[in-house]
Amino acid sequence: MSTNTVVTVPSWARDYVNLYAQRAYDLWTLPALVSYTGQIVASQTQNEADGIAALAVRGAGGDAVISKATAFILDVIQGNRLAGTKQEFIDALALVTGNSTADFASVSSRIGKKARYVGDPDSTFLAQALAAGYPATFNARISAALYADNYAKERVFRDHAMAYGVEMGKHPVIDAETLHKAGLVNREYLQNSYVLNHKLFIEQQEMAVANLEIFGNMLRALTGSQQTTISTDPTSNKLMAAVGFGMVGAYVGGAIGGAIAGAETGSSAGPYGAVIGFVVGAIAGWLFG
């Protein structure tokens, strides 16, 4: 096994790299990134709340102008005024007949003369007696005429009222839309506050990671700036090592044996030494080669 460490940062740049790493660590542990703690959602103003409330009231309760106009048009369309039974018409008719009756009294008071000479058969106000029934008679006639005229005119009004029917019929929709909008704008406000709070929530979590990644970025930037290699050494073939070391052992053993015993021709010390050396060498080569 061997370990080899190489710094790949040029030496002239190492101080800067150290400074950079230190700065990254300091910022991480400071911590440099802390999520925002201030107010993030503006409150609804009183005007806005009042406006929304007004819309809600209008949408829920309608408007008196609309409701009265609608009731009136409905009354006309339903033909309730054709018969002349409405109090307004009766009052108007009473004005005609009442005033006629009342003012005929002025006429009546101007007629009727006493006899100027003796023997005149009629000494009463004959003219007044004759005219006494005129108001009732004429009022009845004109009343009939006005009822008829009223009917004809109310028919025309009824026809014209049809033009407003659809328009007035839309107002419940407008009311509903108004009420809906009042609810909608409140919900939008609420939704916006949810979105902002959610954004802050996420930002708080991401801020912690971003703060951590200050150091992480530094580590990534400097990864590879030093390379430490630990490697195993190449090993030889066991059998070949045994043979090779056996031959070396035989050579060394023979020499040593020959030297010790005095190598002479025919001496067996050398061969014995060589054999022993071969065996020892082969074992050593097998184990350590």
Taking CB under 8 A as the rule, does residue 208 contact other proteins? Answer: no
Does residue 139 belong to the site contacting other proteins (CB under 8 A)? yes
Name the minimum Å distance from CB 162 to other proteins: 11
If one asks whether residue 280 binds other proteins (CB under 8 A), the answer comes out as: no
65 binds other proteins (CB under 8 A): yes
Interactions with other proteins, residue window 15-34 (CB under 8 A)? 16-17, 19-20, 23-24, 27, 32-34
Residue from 77, 184, 185, 280 binding other proteins (CB under 8 A): 185
Of the candidate residues 29, 83, 114, 237, the single one contacting other proteins (CB under 8 A) = 114
Q: What is the DSSP string of 133-193?
A: THHHHHHHHHHHHHHHHHHHHHHHHHHHHHHHHHHHHTHHHHHHHHHHHHHHHHHHHHHHH
Shortest Cβ distance from residue 80 to other proteins (Å)?
12
69 binds other proteins (CB under 8 A): yes
Q: How far is the CB of 59 from other proteins (least distance, A)?
A: 8
How many Å apart are CA 75 and CA 69, to the nearest integer? 10
Minimum distance of other proteins from residue 78's CB (angstroms): 15
Residue 288 to residue 242: CA distance in whole angstroms: 9
CB closer to other proteins, 72 vs 279: 72
Query: C-beta of 53: minimal distance to other proteins in Å?
Result: 8
Separation CA 181–CA 194 (nearest Å): 19
Total chain residues near other proteins (CB under 8 A): 152
DSSP state of 118: T
125 vs 279, which CB is nearer to other proteins? 125
Kindly state whether residue 184 participates in binding other proteins, applying the rule CB under 8 A: no
**CB–CB of 281/249 below 8 Å?**
yes
* 197-224 b/e (C-beta count within 10 Å ≥ 16 → b): eeebeeeeeebeebbebbbeebeeeeee
**Would you count residue 283 as binding other proteins (CB under 8 A)?**
no
Please pick, from the candidates 82, 242, 245, 278, the single residue that binds other proteins as defined by CB under 8 A: 245
- C-beta of residue 41 within 8 angstroms of C-beta of residue 192: yes
**218 belongs to the binding site for other proteins (CB under 8 A):** yes
Please tell me whether residue 159 binds other proteins under the rule CB under 8 A: no
Task: Return the residue of 29, 78, 141, 162 that touches other proteins, per CB under 8 A.
Answer: 141
Per rule CB under 8 A, is residue 242 in the interface with other proteins?
no
- 3-class SS letters over 195-235: HHHHHHHHHHHHHHHHHHHHHHHHHHHHCCCEEEEEECCCC
Written in H, E and C, the secondary structure of 51-67 is: HHHHHHHHHHHCCHHHH
State yes or no: residue 6 binds other proteins (CB under 8 A): yes
Is 166 a binder of other proteins (CB under 8 A)?
no
Q: By three-state DSSP, how is residue 107 classified?
A: helix
Does the footprint of other proteins cover residue 110 (CB under 8 A)? yes
Nearer to other proteins, 85 or 234 (CB): 234
